Structure 1
Amino acid sequence: MQAVDSRPAPASAPPVVKDRASGRRKRDARTAWLLSLPTLVILVAMLGYPLYRMIVLSFQNMRLRELFTGATPPWAGFDQYAKALTDEVFWGIVGRTAAFTVVSVTLSVTAGLGIALLMRRVHAKVRIFMMVAMMFVWALPQLVAAQAFRWLTDSDFGVLNYLFSKVFGDEWLNHSWFVNPWEGWAVITTLVVWAGIPFLAISLSAGLTQVPKELLEAATVDGASAWQALRNITLPILKPLLTIVTTLSVIWNFGLFTQNWALRDSHPEPVYQTLATYSYTQAFGRSLYSYGSAISVITVLLMLGVMVFYIRQMFKIGEVD
């Protein structure tokens, strides 16, 4: 005689409930797209069309004659790209821009993380004061900040030279910070890092609120040092946010233009050229509009990999949420 299994069958969601949930998700997705549509239209109008025109122009040979007469520029195929890709000056600027990006992003993220960790340890009033001060720096226009740094490092009446002369001697009087490219890039990098720290520090400080205090307390009880707790607990939890803010910093710093353009009085020397300033100089300084457009397209392509990585990280965070 066989035993009869009297256990109830596992409960399963009724088909009607599943259909309702699926329909609700579809409606939510449709609503999200409808709400995003105005923004997408504006982005296409403001960014898509200029990008399209820039790509078309890079395959032409736009000169002053076509600019003033309105005639269609002759097609040049890939000549502008071949000119850029075989130019040693161009590749030198690519390397300089990449090196600046690596150094400035590393310093910015490290300093931002350090300040964020400090903000979690100070009194609430001190934390609020720090956030207000950093928001002021973040809200300051790049051109205004660049002019302030230009005044600080001026060779004739700069405050920095005055302070250095009091500490290290009179040889710092009338010192020009941009004669030596290493010193000049140190000034530019300091400006960019100083302006980028507020966003990083405030963002990472908000992320630190998601780190459970219980884990940190348990690690302390187990004898873990502050560095071990940071490496094994805090950083893994902050990794998604840290990846996002680092990627954004790479995108912003790779497109450096305003800071070195203003610090060099709108005429950056060859050693201070970046991809953004070089493209602008070629297009509007030498009237090589198509060549400048080709350089801009190459810059966009170089940044495309970083942008794709950023978007993938955003989708991963969305899936986790």
Structure 2
Amino acid sequence: MQSRHFAQLIFLSAVWGASFPLIRIASPALGPLPMACLRCALAAAVLALLMRVMRMTWPARAHWRAMTVLGLLTVVSPFLLFNWVALVIPAGYSAVLNATAPLFGVLAGAVFGEERLTVRKLAGCAAGLLGVALLVRLGPVEVDARVVMAVLACVAASASYGFGAILMKRATLAHQPLPASAAVHVAAALVLLLPAAAAAPQVELVPRALVALAVLGMFTSGFMYWISMRLMREIPASAATSSAFMIPMFGVTWGGLFLGEPFTAGMAPGVLLVLVACALVTGFNPLALLRRPPR
């Protein structure tokens, strides 16, 4: 991995870490379903505009089924789950639990025959599960059935990202990143359209929530998904998902700055175990990257 790739991973982590406080702001007013649909529609509009400016064409009709499956895994499922989770637990929790995505990415690679499971990787999976359990048990949120369900939803969303990363990598080899990104969000918006319309009467048009939605849709979803696909075209899928390692740091920071969410000493062991687990599973070592000379 080149130094420019590592810099892009840090940038992705910082931006995606900010998405969790934004979701926490927007979801209570807009509702999980309408918010997910509007976010996808905004992302699709931005990407379609970029395609028009760059005079690029849409993927052929034969490829839209694959784009829809990719959209279900990397957009629809995580958006809906994280939107609901934002109604229950702090943004920092979601950001930390999102760091389990690389664990599932490696497991998906093994399932699809693209990676081999080793003792180190299995130990990393075990450490990750222990880290999640510690975070829930020792964090500032009182644990009840709803909190446990929210944690499981976060893990499911991360699993969706992890398995989707394999398909995302394959899509970058078959299509240009920009048209593929646009098609994924168009397909996702269409999938969500009818359920979101049914939930529309519950939407509250709060200015603060609308601003958060605009940033999420146009920037953290649309533009950054395209950047992520461009990066994934050049590096392995497991390395690309390693941006999730740094998301907890940014997510907790943004949550503290903008929402006043606390980071307690009790959360530290869980956070550290999740990060160590991801490093064990993927072999990703940012310190080693920093020691390498730029190429």
Structure whose residues are more often helix by fraction: 2
Greater RCO (CA < 8 Å, at least 6 residues apart)? 2
TM-score (norm 2): 0.25
TM-score (norm 1): 0.23
Which has the larger Rg?
1
